[in-house]
Structure formats: C-alpha cells, structure tokens
A and B are shown apart, each in its own frame.
Chain A
C-alpha cells in the first residue's frame, strides 16, 4: 500500500506492506532508529516514538494506521525545546539513563509530562470535577476549584511516584533508580511549567 506520513518534519511517501510494523519502516528510513530494539513486539520499550504527539511503541503500530500521521522519533524530538527541559533535569540531578535506553526513557518522560499537563488542563477547564483518591496527581484537587487558583498551583506540586513507576515500567532497563527518576521528572515538570507560565 502507498502511505504518506511525516517523519521528524519531513514528508514521506512510501510503498510498504500494509501490516509492516512502524519500527521496521523507521529503521529503513532513519539509520540510527531502534538500534537497541530487538524485542520484536515483546514491549521492551526501546522503539517508542511520538505519533501525533502521543507516545506509542512503534513495533506495535502497523503501516496502515500511520497514513497521514506525524511521527516524531527521538532524533526529531531532540531538536525541540521540550527535550531541553528533560536534558536540563538530567544534568541538574547529575544522573541520566544509559546510552541503551536514553532515547526511550526520554520519550517516556515526555509522555508522562504530556499526560500530567493534559490532566491539569482538563481539571482547570472544569471538565473533570471531584478528583478523588484515584487521581494520578497529588495536587490540584477539589470540585469547585477556582480556575485562577488552580492555574497558579500547577507546577508547584509533584507527580506521584506510583504514576512514575507504572509508566517507567515500560522500559525494562534498570540503569537508573526510581528515586532519581522521580527527581528528574519532577524537575523537568517544573521547568516545563515555568516555561509555559512565561509564555502565557
């Protein structure tokens, strides 16, 4: 089948098998992609990419689902300002993932930050009321939260360790401790929120 997609900002028109995994397509288009991914669908987490802004394991995405999609691999993500927040957090904490899982862990962190951001936006806009004990965030709660007050609180709390452990379980590499990862993610979240506050 013929498919058109955008990979790291470049437009591609490809003729591929409709069931070919995205990871193999990317390996052919981007030489450095997925060097550490040999799991062939066993969810090792090393082939993670952003498809239309959402993190997905490229070995589990068939070609027919990416027609018209915008795909960002770590190589493309590295050039964005969002990656700099995470890299800055790595250097501030003084620890970073090993070269084997650096790309995948960075994208997973980005997906956590996106998820938390989205939850916050929903809560502030009043789409979700009465965040209870099930909430992944341990801040910004309450049914009748004043929008301005909620906005001011975003970025001042911390992301729950339960959420971080659950999301990071996708990467099987144990090169970095969970406590360190928590610090990194919370710092990156803080930088991201500050950047957003400055812009708004």
Chain B
C-alpha cells in the first residue's frame, strides 16, 4: 500500500434504504455501480483524497427487469448486456443496435444502466438514447424520509451535460417506453468512440413520426461528451415545421440554427469539430428521411 494513501471503506448495503442510511452517515461517500466511468478518470488512482465507497452491487432490487405491455422497467444495476439480452425481443432494431454500439460486450457486461446515466460528462450513449425515447428515471432522494419521484431522463442534465442529482440522490429504476416503435421512427448515430475519444465523439438521437410528409412529435437529442447535452423544445418545434420533400435551402436553414444553438450551449474549450459533426449528422439524417420519403 503506498505511503500516505488511505484505503477507502467499502459499504455493501443490501437494500436501497440501507444505502441511503449509509450515505446520510457518510456524506462524503460515493455510490458505486459498475465503476467503468469512475475508474476511467485519469486521477482515479492513486488519489490521496479518495472518498469512501457505497457499492450498490448487493442490492437485489436494483438488478430486476420488469416488462409490461407499454414499457420495460430496468433496475439501475442491470448491466447493458442484460438489458440488451432482454431487449432482443422487445426493442426495435434501431434501438437494439444503438445500445449494442455503446461498446463491446466486455464493457457492456460491466457498465450498468444507472451508472451510465449518472456520469457527469454524458460519455455513454444511454443518456442520449433514453432522452430521445422520453424514458423516465426513478430518483430516490438521500433524506431521512423516503422521497421518490419519476423524472424524464432529459431532465437529469443541464445544458452543459452536468448531472443534476450527483450527490443527493440514487437513481433506482429506468422506464423505457416500448410501444412507441409502432408509431414513431427512431434514428441513433454515434460518431467516433465516446469512451476512447470523448473530445471528438458525437452522439445523436432522433425520434419522429412522419404524417403526410410532415414531421410530427419530433424529439432530438445531441450529446457531445465532456461538453454539452442538447435537447430543445424550440428546436423540436422547428423540426415539426418541416415537410417533405425538403429543399437544400431548408436543410441549410435548420442546420444553421442547430449550429448557433450548440455554440451557445457548449462548455468553453469545446472542440469545434464536435459541433461541425453534430450539424452534418442532422443534415445527413434529414437527407436520408427525404430520400426514403421520395422513394415511397
């Protein structure tokens, strides 16, 4: 053991209430799900200021998957691989592919649903995918009284991508709608590897419905790891004014608006390549929808 380095105490609660009690007794302790994000921080070890750990691995309630007619409810400690195995028969092909593109099975076996949503740099595609699909997350507040509430995944982050419930809550469940695939189309794209190259990667998700050549009920989410979590009602309204076939001028106008929105939203020192990539991805997706519309 290196000199001057304290070994953090590891708490292993068996229930969520126990985990909350541990956190109340040790406010500096951090919740530990899969650990893929925490351990990939450059200053993780050795770190003299290491905080105690509350490992959530022993809480069986958080490892359950429940499938109802209209949604799939996954506990926070369900691994992405388990979610994928279950989703094989439930999710649409696009959604299945989007989750499997997050990483190889080695990463998916370790990364958990809750952990991948509770990262402060939105490095995993899960936040983008689930926000696009209007998924909900159950949040248990760290307080003496049991307070739980369902929050849309999109509301878990601010515009810069900061996780808003970092130290005062536990994310316990995620509810993913599964009935939308008949009504809506879902497109997800990932450029570059968000794990290996977070400063250049772009995650893009769009859910929409096409009615008589018009986009209806669009939901667009773009995440630039380390920089921005972009989801805007105004921009969704702009998308819903689009009717197909679309002209090149209209695509240019929409993408220009996205570029200016992103420049306002991103953190300082953001790689301009990420913004450029996000804008071009939107253009490509609009062109793809246009092509498939024209092809009938």
> Total A-B residue pairs with C-beta atoms closer than 8 Å?
107
Cβ < 8 Å to A, chain B residues 1-34: 1-2, 5-10
A60 and B39 within 8 A (CB): yes
Partner of A56, one of B44, B46, B89, B110: B110
- Across the interface, A21 reaches (CB within 8 A) one of B45, B55, B195, namely B45
Q: Is the CB of A64 within 8 A of B45?
A: no
Provide the bound-state CA to CA distance between A108 and B107, in Å: 12
How would you classify the secondary structure of chain B's contact residues: helix, strand, loop or mixed?
Answer: loop
Chain A window 113-153, contacts with chain B (Cβ cutoff 8 Å), 1 for yes, 0 for no: 00100000000000010111111000000000000000000
Interface size on B (CB < 8 Å)? 38
A109 at the interface (CB under 8 A from B): no
Please name 4 further chain A to chain B contacts, defined as beta carbons within 8 Å, in addition to the given A41-B42, A61-B35, sorted by A numbering.
A18-B8, A43-B195, A128-B88, A170-B104
- Does B291 belong to the interface (CB within 8 Å)? no
Contact of B88 with A43 in the complex, beta carbons under 8 Å: no
B196-216 contacts to A, CB under 8 A, are 196
- A173 on the B face (CB < 8 A): no
A108 to B106, CA, bound (A): 8
Q: Give residues of chain B (36-63) contacting chain A, Cβ–Cβ below 8 Å.
A: 36, 39-42, 44-46, 50, 53, 55, 57
List 25 A–B pairs whose Cβ atoms lie within 8 Å, in order of A's numbering: A17-B5, A17-B6, A17-B50, A18-B7, A18-B53, A21-B44, A42-B195, A43-B107, A43-B195, A43-B196, A60-B35, A60-B40, A60-B110, A61-B110, A62-B35, A65-B35, A111-B105, A128-B88, A131-B88, A132-B89, A134-B91, A134-B93, A166-B104, A170-B106, A172-B196
- A5 part of interface (Cβ distance < 8 Å): no
Q: Which of A18, A24, A128, A169 lies in contact with B9, CB distance below 8 A?
A: A18
Contact partner of A18 (CB less than 8 A), chosen from B2, B10, B107, is B10
Q: Is the CB of A54 within 8 A of B39?
A: no
A41-B40, A111-B105, A166-B101 given as contacts; is B35 within 8 A of A133 (CB)?
Answer: no
Whole-angstrom CA separation of A20 from B106 in the bound complex = 20
Min CB distance, A10 to chain B, in Å?
Answer: 21
Instruction: Identify the closest chain A residue to B91 (Cβ).
Output: A134
B103 CB–A CB distance under 8 Å: yes
218-249 of chain B: CB within 8 A of chain A? none
Instruction: Tell me whether A167 and B8 are in contact (CB under 8 A).
Output: no
